[in-house]
């Protein structure tokens, strides 16, 4: 169980995301992504060792900075300092509100009364990077559901779980690793070797939240007219 100050911070950060969604300007994750991209260009070599060094700096640096910030906040303000740092890290890392909004937009575009496939194909790019030019209505719906499922683990369950396990530093480490995987974690081209460490770290950190997300989906299935057994079979099959 997380410490009470961490639990309260996680709750406040979650409520902030539900109320306001992602920061509209100067999102810390976007700023981090630009800084990490510049670092990757400087450190790139076509080898796994270079990629591992990059990950150590790009994940370890922000994580260490968060640990220092948390310690100083606790020293100055006691448990409230830890609550504040945890809440801020949670809000920055979560993306549940934005994800739900995108899912609703796709639902509306694919609704039987409107069925705007051309707009839905364009909008799918907000959720994933697959080519949607030849997808029909069912394929678009399937792609949206798959993307929402994956991003629920990445942008909701993962930050909350690692925050409960390791506090704000866990949240930051997870979000950094997840961001690096999206940037360089490809098996082909320039990042086939360099991106290996980022991809493997992201895989490792996502094992617990992915399984937890699937289990929660099974439990919550009746809330949306589904059946736990059918959800379990889909999880086992896939």
**Domain chopping of the chain, boundaries:** 2-96+156-237
Cβ 126 vs Cβ 153: under 8 Å = no
pLDDT tens digits for range 67-117: 999 999 999 999 999 999 999 999 999 999 999 999 999 999 988 676 688
pLDDT at 237: 92
Task: Give the alpha-carbon dihedral of 137, 150, 23, 141, to 10 degrees.
Answer: 10
pLDDT in tens, 9-41: 999 999 999 999 987 778 899 999 999 999 999
Tell me what pLDDT residue 24 has: 74
- Nearest-angstrom CA–CA distance, 54 and 31: 17
pLDDT at 117: 86
Closest CA to 159 of 212, 200, 196, 195: 212
Q: Decide: 179 and 32 in contact? Cβ < 8 Å.
A: yes
Q: What's the predicted TM-score (pTM) here? A: 0.92
> For residues 213 and 149, what is the distance between their CA atoms, to the nearest angstrom?
8
pLDDT digits (tens, 9 = 90+) for 172-212: 999 999 999 999 998 888 999 999 999 999 999 999 999 99
For 119, half-sphere exposure in the C-beta direction (CA atoms, 13 angstrom radius) is 11
Residue carrying structure tokens 């069925």: 115
How many whole angstroms from its chain centre is CA 183? 13
């Amino acid at each position: 169980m997380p410490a009470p100050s961490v639990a309260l911070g996680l709750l406040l950060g979650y409520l902030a995301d539900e109320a306001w969604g992602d920061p509209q300007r100067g999102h810390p994750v976007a700023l981090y992504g630009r800084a990490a991209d510049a670092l990757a260009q400087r450190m790139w070599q076509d080898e796994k060792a270079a990629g591992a060094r990059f990950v150590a700096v790009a994940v370890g640096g922000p994580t260490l900075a968060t640990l220092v910030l948390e310690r100083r906040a606790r020293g100055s303000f006691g448990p409230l300092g830890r609550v504040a740092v945890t809440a801020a890290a949670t809000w920055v890392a979560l993306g549940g509100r934005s994800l739900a909004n995108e899912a609703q937009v796709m639902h509306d575009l694919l609704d039987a009364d409107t069925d705007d496939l051309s707009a839905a194909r364009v909008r799918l790019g907000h959720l994933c990077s697959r080519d949607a030019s030849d997808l029909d209505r069912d394929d678009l719906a399937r792609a949206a559901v798959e993307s929402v499922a994956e991003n629920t683990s990445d942008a909701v369950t993962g930050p909350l779980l690692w925050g409960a396990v390791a506090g704000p530093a866990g949240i930051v480490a997870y979000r950094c690793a997840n961001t690096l995987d999206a940037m360089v974690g490809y098996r082909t081209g320039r990042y086939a070797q360099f991106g290996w460490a980022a991809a493997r770290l992201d895989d490792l950190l996502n094992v617990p939240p992915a399984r937890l997300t699937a289990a929660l989906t099974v439990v919550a299935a009746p809330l949306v007219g589904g059946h736990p057994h059918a959800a379990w079979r889909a999880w086992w099959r896939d």
